[in-house]
Chains A and B, each alone.
Chain A
Amino acid sequence: MDIKDRMKIPKQSMPEQAPAERVKNFREVPYGYTSEQAMEEAKRCIQCKKPLCVGGCPVNIDIPWFIDLMAEGKFVEAARKIKETNTLPAVCGRVCPQEDQCEKVCVIGKKGEPVSIGRLERFAADFEREQGEVAIPVIPKWSGKKVAVVGSGPAGLTVAGDLVKKGHKVTIFEALHVAGGVLMYGIPEFRLPKKVVQSEVDYLKRMGVKIECNAVVGKLDTVDELLENGYDAVFIGTGAGLPYFMNIPGENLVGVYSANEYLTRLNLMKAYLFPEYETPVIRGRRVVVIGGGNTAMDAARTALRLCPEEVTIVYRRSREEMPARVEEVHHGEEEGLKFQLLTNPVRFIGDHEGRLKAIECVKMELGEPDESGRRRPVAVKGSEFCMDADVAIISIGNGANPLIPQTTPDVKVNKWGNITVDYETGGTSKEGVYSGGDIVRGGATVILAMGDGRRAANAIHRYLTTGG
């Protein structure tokens, strides 16, 4: 097929649950491509000699190569090709902000719609998994070295996967009762089914990674004790922690949640199945979500599925500045999500029992650009107004998880509490201790956390084998 013909193929749209239907359940929204669609979409790639897409992917997946395999219907081979560089393709294909990464720079996108790289990646990974047991690579003989990985989010999982494949023994310590980090407790089922995450975790276990849940490093063993007790290196991937609040009156009223708490109750603890599952959540009649990022969008779309009368996003800038993925905002809108933009809460108002009943807000306008280059929102005097609300979900970001730095003072942190590392190696100020993911970057993305994990794994391997 020549390039001209390829360029004539229209972008294959992804079938998905209708909005009116999906807002009543927690099942995944897109169904995924059919094999025919996947092959058709793969044919749209013109197999660039200098593929820009590869540079757009933080872990540099050989995109044209795997897409070429898919165009021939060799899906399992394609999945294996992807896995040479990306341990979690079924996850990344679903949650990567592709429009800002690989697909943003795809040449086909210059004139029309870029190749749907993420959807193809997802298809290949799902196809391989649904074929039955995924083949595990040959694991080399034990090197004699042991590595402890703290935290089982995407950063930790990547480090663990890479290092077992190099012949080291790896144990992951996870504070929660399940492995997966934000993939399990934060991102909702309808965007990332938990069985997908679970099968990635099982795959690591089959490769020989030991995972110990219910193990808080710093409270059980400290990093120093791990190093004394036989681990030759430690990777810290403890993610973001400590949700920020707004420090305005009424913030501790009943019904005011952090997005972390709200999402943890619903995703990790399955509060939507209460009382069969025992963790409760306030379902709410009028739910207000404060913030404009992916987390806010996830909280809002989760709230919609508990059938309230109304769910509204309150965001202090305008739509253009919203950091959430366009696709998620669009999905939310289809599901009936309301937006109250250029608005900021100033006070939560409660009833006589201390339950939230309204939020006083102020209108904002955009002033001069700030350090981030975005125009700074400023309050419009006298524009205060009240919104009814019995649930408010604050989603304005997280600070750094302090547990490890508190108990390991020689691991240096910056003024926000994020661990400082050498970017190329992930090495911290302490010998043999590496770090990456959100604990280093503040809030980032799954694929960046994995990229950090990959670089750290290479550096740890060098450290273990050559000492440097």
Chain B
Amino acid sequence: MFEIVEKRQLCHTVYLLRIKAPRVAAKRKAGQFVMIKINEQGERIPLTIVDSDLKEGTISIIVQEVGKTTTEICALGAGDNVMDLVGPLGRPTHIENFGTAVCVGGGIGVAPIYPISKALKEMGNRVVSIPGARTKDLLILEDEMRAVSDEMHITTDDGSYGHHGFVTQILQKLIDEKMKIDIVIGIGPIPMMKAVSNVTRPYNIHTLVSLNPIMVDGTGMCGACRVTIGDEIRFVCVDGPEFDGHLVDFDELIMRNRTYLKEEKMAMEEFTYHEGTGQCERCET
């Protein structure tokens, strides 16, 4: 059992949870994630470790309600427990002094970009951050991002805050203004990461993205998380989650993440209305 010691709402559908997991807290590095299963019947889902507190032995995760499991997690509060939590999984982000690092975060993607920006900053990089959201209310970790950025450009799709438009427009502008960019790290919805990679490709700017496929074990045993990188199949949970954005087959990832659309919808409806037995009519299963 892993106790939730603090819960904070960051915006409409996004919550920060601080969970007691001292051994994970002691080992985790930027870029790594945990798999969480909240109860006996639960699914195992991957969530990025956003921060850790060594003194208190806690890790922080930021969760967006998108389906049944994430909604259930967000319904938990301080004092509640999650049954299983394993990590830190995945390879840590390779952090060095690149020079100037542009950190692009879209929506909930600001959560995983934050620990990476922080680590880059601590290594002496000049961090230029571009956090974006659909609208002002959905922007998360603004203060935290500001604290680790040398330069910050906020964008909202609807213009309610910061630049009116997409994160990629700012990135393009910085490139056009001849900013010397040594690395770009983009994390957010898959179409956004694809767009960021498309912006930097013609200029050959090294671009990392963090992939979020469906996972089961998270330890390299099942292959559910496989993605195509260049001509190779790679497993995100052990080879990633970060990959060269110029080599990722994003369309395939989008397609694979839609695998259980029907089932997810059904689970969510069941969860919301407590209806249906879910039994196959033809047999006992």
Contacts and interface: CB of A to CB of B under 8 A. Distances in A.
Given A176-B217, A261-B222, A306-B285, A220 B43 contact: no
Given A254-B258, A274-B278, A403-B238, A216 B284 contact: no
Given A24-B285, A252-B226, A354 B43 contact: no
A354 B252 contact: yes
Interface in A245-290: 245, 247, 251-255, 257-258, 260-261, 264-265, 269-270, 272-280, 282-283
B233 A264 contact: no
A305 interface: yes
B278 A269 contact: no
Interface string B251-285: 01001101110011011001000001010101111
Contacts of A401: 220-221
- In the complex, which of the residues B226, B256, B264, B285 has the most CB atoms of chain A within 10 Å of its own CB atom? B285
A242 B221 contact: yes
A206 B278 CA distance: 38
B216 A261 contact: yes
Among A253, A274, A282, the most chain B Cβ lie within 10 Å of the Cβ of A274
A278 B267 CA distance: 7
B182 interface: no
A280 B223 contact: no
Nearest to A212: B23
B148 to A, nearest CB: 25
Contacts of B233: 245, 247, 251-252
B166 interface: no
B3 interface: no
Interface residues of B, number: 49
A265 to B, nearest CB: 6
A175 B285 contact: no
Contacts of A353: 255, 258
Contact of B235 (A24, A242, A280, A283): A242
Given A261-B216, A274-B278, A354-B255, A220 B223 contact: no
A219 B92 CA distance: 11
Interface string B21-42: 0011001000000000100011
B27 A219 contact: yes
A240 to B, nearest CB: 8
Nearest to B262: A280
B283 A216 contact: no
Given A219-B27, A260-B223, A353-B255, A213 B283 contact: no
Nearest to B225: A261
B284 to A, nearest CB: 5
A254 B219 contact: no
Interface string A98-134: 0000000000000000000000000000000000000
B89 interface: yes
Interface in B8-65: 23-24, 27, 37, 41-44
Nearest to A213: B84
Contacts of A277: 41
B263 A25 contact: no
B216 A264 contact: yes
A208 interface: no
Contacts of B283: 24-25, 305, 307
Nearest to A25: B284
B119 interface: no
B258 A177 contact: no
Contact of A220 (B23, B44, B216): B23
A269 B216 contact: yes
Contacts of B117: none
Interface in A266-325: 269-270, 272-280, 282-283, 305-307
A252 B256 contact: yes
A30 interface: no
Given A275-B278, A278-B41, A242 B27 contact: no
Contacts of B217: 175-176, 264
Given A216-B89, A242-B235, A402-B220, A177 B259 contact: no
Contact of B41 (A25, A252, A276): A276
B285 A254 contact: no
A219 B90 CA distance: 9
B216 to A, nearest CB: 6
A251 B276 CA distance: 34
Contacts of B221: 241-243, 260, 264, 401
B68 interface: yes
A47 B105 CA distance: 74
- Looking at B42, B217, B233, B276, which has the most chain A CB atoms within 10 Å of its CB? B217
Interface in A364-404: 401-403
B88 interface: yes
B228 to A, nearest CB: 6
Contacts of A403: 219-220, 238
B69 interface: yes
A26 interface: yes
A177 B220 contact: no
A282 B89 CA distance: 26
B145 to A, nearest CB: 27
Nearest to B215: A261
A215 interface: yes
A34 interface: no
Given A252-B233, A278-B43, A353-B258, A214 B85 contact: yes
A214 B34 CA distance: 10
B259 A282 contact: yes
A214 B267 CA distance: 26
Interface in B180-239: 216-217, 219-224, 226-228, 233, 235, 238
A26 B282 CA distance: 15
A77 B43 CA distance: 42
Contacts of B264: 280
A145 to B, nearest CB: 23
A213, A252, A265, most chain B CB atoms within 10 A: A252
B240 interface: no
B41 to A, nearest CB: 5
Interface of A: 24-26, 175-177, 213-216, 219-220, 241-243, 245, 247, 251-255, 257-258, 260-261, 264-265, 269-270, 272-280, 282-283, 305-307, 353-354, 401-403
23 contacts: A25-B285, A176-B86, A215-B23, A215-B86, A219-B89, A242-B220, A243-B222, A252-B227, A252-B233, A254-B255, A254-B258, A258-B224, A260-B223, A261-B224, A264-B221, A272-B285, A273-B285, A275-B276, A278-B69, A279-B216, A307-B283, A307-B285, A353-B255
